[in-house]
Amino acid sequence: MKSRGTMLKLAVLSLVFLAVFGQYAWAVDEIIVGGWNVENLGRPNQRENSGKGVPQQPEVIATYIRSSGVHVLALEEICAEKNGGTRQQNKTLDDVVKILSSDSRADWKYRLFRGPKSKAVTRLTGVMWNHEIVKPVGDPIPLELPADSFRRKGKPTAIKFSAGARKTDFVIIPVHMKSNRRQKGESADESKKSSAEQRAKEAKYIIEALDDLRRTFSDQDIVIIGDVNALSHSEEAVMIFVKAGFRDLNEQDLVTYISKKYPTSPLDRAFVPSNQPEFYDSKMEGYKPRNLSPEEFRQKLSDHYMIKFTVKVMDDDD
C-alpha cells in the first residue's frame, strides 16, 4: 500500500503533467493539413451543374472531413450567412463542427476571413482545426495586398498554429486565386492568357507580403494552400512561389477538379517551405471517398476534391 507521502508526490506530478501537457490532449507524430474548395457553401443556387440548387448537408461534410483524417483544413468558397460580432459565420459549418466535436478526441473550431474593409460575404476563405491537436497562436493577420488582387474572393489571411510547447508550429495561408472563367467579350485564348497573368500578379503580391509576415509571426514555416486555379505546375504563378523558396506539392499536376468540360484540371495546390525539416517528407494527395462516384461527390459536396499532406511534429527550429 502506497504511503501518504508517495500518494501526495504522485498527485503533484499529475498536476504538473496536466499543467504542461493538458492544453494538447492528444499528441500526434504528424499533423495532417488539408485544403478544400466547398463550392459556394451556403449559397446552393450559385453552385453549378449537378450541384445547382442542392444545399450541402452538414452530416455528409462532417463524414468526409472525419474520414480524411485532417487536423487543419483550409477552406475556400464559404458564404457567410450570419454575423457573429466581427466574425463571419456559416450555419452549415456551425453544424459541421458540432458533429465533428462529438468524437472523444475532437474539439473543432473554424474562422472565416475577409479583407478588413471588404463587404464581401460570399466566396470567403477560412480555416477549420481540431483544437485537441493544434491551437492558434495569436490572431489571424490579413495580408496587405494591392486592390487589384483577390477582388471577388476572400483575401489571403495568415493564421499560426502550434502542436505544443516548443514543438512544430506553422503559418497557414488559405488562397483562392483568379479562376479560368471567361469574361464577357473574351475568346478562349484571351481568357486563358488574362487569367494566368492575373494569378501571376496575385502570387507576386503574396510573396512580397511574406517578409513582414515572417517577422510578425517570428516563423519561417509558411504554408500556402488552396484553389490556386493554375492549369499546370509550369504556370508563371506556380513558378513565382517555387522561385521564392516553396515546393509545389502538386508538381505532378494531380487532377482535383470534377468537370467533364475540363477533365484535366489540377487546380488545387499546396506550397510548403523547401528548406524546413518538418516538410521534407510532405506529399500531397487528393482525397476521394470510395463510397461516392465523382458525379455523386459533385452533387452532394463540391466540384473540388480535398487535398491533404502531412507535417512532422518535432522540436521547433525557429
pTM above 0.85, yes or no: yes
Q: Residue 13: is its pLDDT beyond 70? A: no
Query: What is the CB neighbour count within 10 angstroms for residue 122?
Result: 17
CA 232 – CA 14 distance, rounded (Å): 53
**Residue 119 class from Cβ within 10 Å (0-12 exposed, 13-18 middle, 19+ buried)?**
exposed
Q: Quote the CA–CA distance of 9 and 290 in Å, as a whole number.
A: 51
Please state the rounded mean pLDDT for residues 150-169: 88
Is 252 buried (19+), middle (13-18) or exposed (0-12) by CB count in 10 A? Answer: exposed
DSSP 259-310: -SSS-S---EEEEEETT-GGGTT---EEE--TTS-HHHHHHHT-SB-EEEEE
Return d(Cα 149, Cα 205) in angstroms, integer: 8
Residues contacting residue 213 through CB under 8 Å, at least 6 positions apart? 141, 143, 158, 171, 222
Query: What pLDDT does 119 receive?
Result: 66
**Residue-level length of the chain:** 318
| Nearest 10 degrees: Cα torsion 195, 199, 200, 204 | 150
25, 213, 113, 116 alpha-carbon torsion, rounded to 10°:
140
Mean per-residue pLDDT, 185-196: 85
Q: With a cut of 70, say whether residue 248 has pLDDT above it.
A: yes
Q: What is the pLDDT of residues 262-276, one digit of tens each?
A: 889 999 999 999 999
User: What rounded mean pLDDT belongs to the chain?
Assistant: 88
> What is the per-residue pLDDT across 125-152, written as a single tens digit (0 to 9) for each?
999 999 999 999 999 999 988 888 876 6
| Domain at 24-312: CATH code | 3.60.10.10
Which pLDDT value is given to residue 87?
65
Assess contact for 317 and 275: CB atoms under 8 A: no
Read off the amino acid at residue 13: L
Instruction: Report residue 177 as a C-alpha cell.
Output: 486565386
Q: In Å, what is the CA distance from 14 to each residue of 17, 27, 192?
A: 5, 17, 61
Instruction: Return left, alpha or beta for 82; rule: phi > 0 is left, psi -120 to 50 is alpha, else beta.
Output: beta
Render pLDDT for 257-314 as a digit per residue (tens, 0 to 9): 999 888 899 999 999 999 999 999 999 999 999 999 999 999 999 999 999 999 999 9
Helix, strand and coil percent figures for the chain, each rounded to 5:
30, 30, 45
How is the chain split into domains, by residue range?
A: 24-312
258 close to 290: Cβ distance less than 8 angstroms = no
Question: Could you tell me if 124 and 88 are in contact, meaning their C-beta atoms sit under 8 angstroms apart?
Answer: yes
Per-residue pLDDT at 34 exceeds 80: yes
Provide CB contacts within 8 A for 49, sequence distance 6+.
Answer: 298, 303
Q: What's the rounded Cα separation, in Å, for the pair 298 and 52? A: 10
- Kindly tell me if the per-residue pLDDT of 4 is higher than 60: no
